[in-house]
Structure 1
Amino acid sequence: MKLNRISLLCTALTVTAASTTPVAGAEVLPLAERLREAVVAQNFRDVVDLTPPEPGAPPVTQQEKYDASPAELMSRARTRSGGRPLHQTPNLDVAIIGLDPAGRPAAVANVLLSPQHPNGVVVPVQPQGLSTDHVRYRWWNDTEWDNNGGVGTRDVLPGREHAPIDFASPYPASVLKLLVGFGVLRLVDLGRINLDAEYVFDPNPARAVCGGPSVKTVRQHFDEMITKSQNESTCALVKLLHDLSAWDQVNRTFADLGMPTLMVTGTNPGNGGAWGGANMSSLDTAKLLLLINGGAEVLWTTTEGKPVTAAELSASSRKFFLDTLAAQGHNEMLSTSNWCGRGYPVQGIPQQVPARWIEPDGTVTVGDAIYDRDVRPCNETAEVTFAHKTGWTATAGSDAGIVKSLPGKDKRDYIVVVFGNLGMDYADAARPADPPGVFPVLYTQKYAQLGKAIDVIMKTS
């Protein structure tokens, strides 16, 4: 990715919410405008809603949402039949940060899609802080989105009542596990947690999603939480942070570092469950990944004037986090390499599947998740690595990670984050049925198409 750090960054950030029409005769559009066009081109409205809304349904407040386990998903007959056309434009929050050779931000863009902005809206981003005060973020609520024109009623941040863009932030699903991981590693750096110490997890009250009592090292819980999206290990680490009375401190740290939309609230101290109070914007999530990735000098400066560097996590913690993200087993949203060679879904970001999950016959097994495709041909032609975390619920689809080119491939290094409300309850009209006993396709393939389009943009910039 050929980026002039200053000129491209400034060009991307001068695009305002109103400038959504390409300039006639322009050879190269600003990054943010190219991203907006890529989002709109996928025609996300053109999906089938398998659980269409019932008019007049009362709003639901704090919802219990967890990614379904692989065993649960594979036990269902997921033919995705029936349903009705989506009644309005979905909500998407998409951000990318291009990186220079030193790992610093060279370009940034943030685009929102919603019923109020069916053609996408570019979010003005302040260059020094990689932040915006132009968005009034609202907590996600399925019923409000269905029956209130997509408009939320509860503010995420105070003081944004007059912001020009009103946007309900899609629930982050299991990408919230990045926040748990950051909290754990901050306490590792402070000497309060030892990754190799055993943690006795005894959930009380018991919750099916959190599993039963277990004794594992913190390192094992962390790995299972990220690479396999295991809810039981996530509950254990959420509870560990409660045991140390650390959650207020962790949430305050996100705000102090200029990422105020990142938060995990309302979780149960006794079992680590109840994740409905998690919120993430794509822009702040991209900044968190920027910090985890590491880079020279100051990465951004908060509105209070605090310079933020990669030293907010130790080098060893950042390496552990990155290595774990790079070992992700679920490559099936923005990247779809686990479905190598299938006609559906289309191939997304051309990612290399980690060897850890590949069986002798080339198929992939991730815990209880069984895939039926030989991924070796796609690994031979892969162009990038993708250190990332996915998330899925009925009404949430998310993917966030760091893309780096493989040796000899077109150069690009960037961070990409996509949050959307098109989860497992939404399907493409022509989606084929899943083979029995095989991990099902969870998302519309439009996410993969968007991932591919973003990768093309970043490798040609």
Structure 2
Amino acid sequence: MTTTRSRRSIAGLTTAAVLLSGFLTPEAVAADTGGALAHHLRRTLDRLRFEQVLDTDPPTSPARLDALRRRGAGKPAAAPPPRDSRGAAPITQQPQIDLTVIELNAAGRPVSSGTVLMSPHHPDGVIVPVDRDLHTTAVRWRQWDDAGWYADHAQGTIDVVPGREHAPIDFMSPYPASVLKLMVAFGVLRLVDRGAISLDDTYAYEPAAGSSMCGPPGADTIRAYLDASLTWSSNPASCALIKMLHDRDAIDGLNRTFQDLGLETLQLKGTNPAHGGRWDNPITMTSLDTAKLLMLINGGKGTLWTTPGGVRVSAGVLSRASREFLLSRLRDQAMNVTLSTTNWCGAAYPAQGIPQRTPPRWTGADGSVTVPGQDVAYGHDVRPCDRAAEVTFAHKNGWWSNAAADAGIVRALPGKGGRSYVVALFSNLGSQYVDPGRPPGGDVWFTERLARLGQAIDAYEKHRRP
């Protein structure tokens, strides 16, 4: 992959240096104003050499590019199965990666952050300048384009946030895949807090049109739909919740709420009110805004940031009961397969990621994880990893052939140091991209470089907060 590495220019390094920024949050304690975290993230991404992954399904003709364009207008029901490296080609350009880490103090308040983007335009990685309110105007965010990543050098043509034509960084945001279910859950729990619905209400899902992703009619409680959507990423449960939001004309209001909170790149757009499906590229999330949403869910004290419009934002945007419910579902995450990889505890591949404790809900008598809703049995005893665990990881991940995402809240276990941070990752490195020499077979979905990234982030945070 020397051709890709040769694109890494002195100009890219200069840009990263110019855009270096730490920040001091309101009322923060011991804030990092030197940008050490952001520098570490950029160096780590660079060191992991993501440009060395292989592409198992590159478009090799205009017809294949047209097929990608059609796919971008409607994601099918399930991602293709993982592939091995036989017959794969070198990736044509630096992958898209959007990464944010926000360090928290004991009160759940931000004390330091780093946001780094990597793309063909920024092959060395570029540090995003973030102000004291965890906001940036330095990026022209573009909507993901499946075919455009290949055909247009990842340029992107549709702006996510208007008025950023002269921003110094131009970046096409990866499709968020099932991390979008965080936005859905937030919208549903806002209705719960207003008394419009209850978690124990039964919702009859009666789609007005068929959808292979969403499934047949049915009925369940809002609580059960949220649990399935968040813990094992049920698409039918998520479709039901989205349709319920459409039924109550709540989708536009949810998107306005994100704008009012200063989370301008969080947009749940284009879904089909007839069945709650059609999850396409107009649905956008970025790592910085997703990390801020998670910080609200985590429940930090006081004003966490002030929006560009002057609104002081606190965790009170959700009730304590709703935050605790949402956190409990994220702590019960079954799919520990991206930044954390404990579902494959003890395996030679993939590498170990964030050293989390695996939720016991999914662990059988033999210590292995089985996720009935996904029809996956991992077959590895997670108990040795649980004994060595240092943190909990309340998170939601997402996957697709050209999307790999993970976003959550990391907290040290008792006696394992004081680290507490939020991490959010979006990338186009889905199941289509594999490591050279990857063992054949198995059910590993992504390059193990993502797990190594998670491990490197946590090791750094452990050192910072011993």
Same-fold call, TM cutoff 0.5:
yes
| Identity between Structure 1 and Structure 2 (%) | 50
User: Which one of the candidate residues 28, 43, 53 is aligned to 2:49?
Assistant: 43
Are 2:284 and 1:285 aligned?
no
User: Which one of the candidate residues 386, 392, 406 is aligned to 1:385?
Assistant: 392
Are 2:73 and 1:63 aligned?
yes
User: Which one of the candidate residues 388, 411, 414 is aligned to 2:418?
Assistant: 411
Change (3 A) 1:16 1:194: farther
Q: Which moved more, 1:142-151 or 1:116-125?
A: 142-151
Are 2:334 and 1:329 aligned?
yes
**2:213 matched to which residue of 1?**
209
Secondary structure (helix, strand or coil) at the match of 2:303 reads coil
What is the CA-CA distance between 1:430 and the residue it aligns to? Answer: 1.2
Paired with 1:16 and 1:299, the residues of 2 have a C-alpha distance of 29
Q: Which amino acid aligns with 2:111?
A: A
**2:457 matched to which residue of 1?**
454
Q: Which amino acid aligns with 1:266?
A: G
- 1:292-303 equivalences in 2 (<5 Å): 292-303=297-308
**1:189 matched to which residue of 2?**
193
Counterpart contact for 2:247–2:273, Cα < 8 Å: yes
Secondary structure (helix, strand or coil) at the match of 1:88 reads coil
Change (3 A) 1:80 1:219: farther
Are 2:155 and 1:151 aligned?
yes
Are 2:119 and 1:114 aligned?
yes
Secondary structure (helix, strand or coil) at the match of 2:51 reads coil
Secondary structure (helix, strand or coil) at the match of 2:395 reads strand
Counterpart contact for 1:397–1:421, Cα < 8 Å: yes
Secondary structure (helix, strand or coil) at the match of 1:343 reads coil
- 1:327-366 equivalences in 2 (<5 Å): 327-366=332-371
Counterpart contact for 1:66–1:173, Cα < 8 Å: no
Paired with 2:335 and 2:362, the residues of 1 have a C-alpha distance of 10
Q: Which amino acid aligns with 1:292?
A: I
**1:375 matched to which residue of 2?**
382
Counterpart contact for 1:67–1:393, Cα < 8 Å: no
What is the CA-CA distance between 1:246 and the residue it aligns to? Answer: 0.3
What is the CA-CA distance between 1:456 and the residue it aligns to? Answer: 1.2
Q: Which amino acid aligns with 2:361?
A: R
User: Which one of the candidate residues 157, 160, 164 is aligned to 1:160?
Assistant: 164
Secondary structure (helix, strand or coil) at the match of 2:52 reads coil
Paired with 2:348 and 2:383, the residues of 1 have a C-alpha distance of 16
| TM-score, normalised with respect to structure 2 | 0.90
Paired with 1:20 and 1:310, the residues of 2 have a C-alpha distance of 30
Q: RMSD of the alignment, in Å?
A: 1.7
What is the CA-CA distance between 1:400 and the residue it aligns to? Answer: 0.2
| TM-score, normalised with respect to structure 1 | 0.91
What is the CA-CA distance between 1:81 and the residue it aligns to? Answer: 2.6
Paired with 2:440 and 2:77, the residues of 1 have a C-alpha distance of 21
Change (3 A) 1:66 1:36: farther
**1:30 matched to which residue of 2?**
36
Are 2:194 and 1:177 aligned?
no
Paired with 1:207 and 1:67, the residues of 2 have a C-alpha distance of 8
**2:244 matched to which residue of 1?**
240
Q: Which amino acid aligns with 1:122?
A: I
Change (3 A) 1:346 1:31: same
**1:9 matched to which residue of 2?**
none
Counterpart contact for 2:77–2:212, Cα < 8 Å: no
Paired with 1:272 and 1:329, the residues of 2 have a C-alpha distance of 23
Aligned length: 431
**2:5 matched to which residue of 1?**
none
Secondary structure (helix, strand or coil) at the match of 1:321 reads helix
Counterpart contact for 1:335–1:350, Cα < 8 Å: yes
What is the CA-CA distance between 1:458 and the residue it aligns to? Answer: 1.2
Q: Which sections of structure 2, spanning at least 5 residues, go unmatched?
A: 1-13, 21-33
Are 2:9 and 1:18 aligned?
no
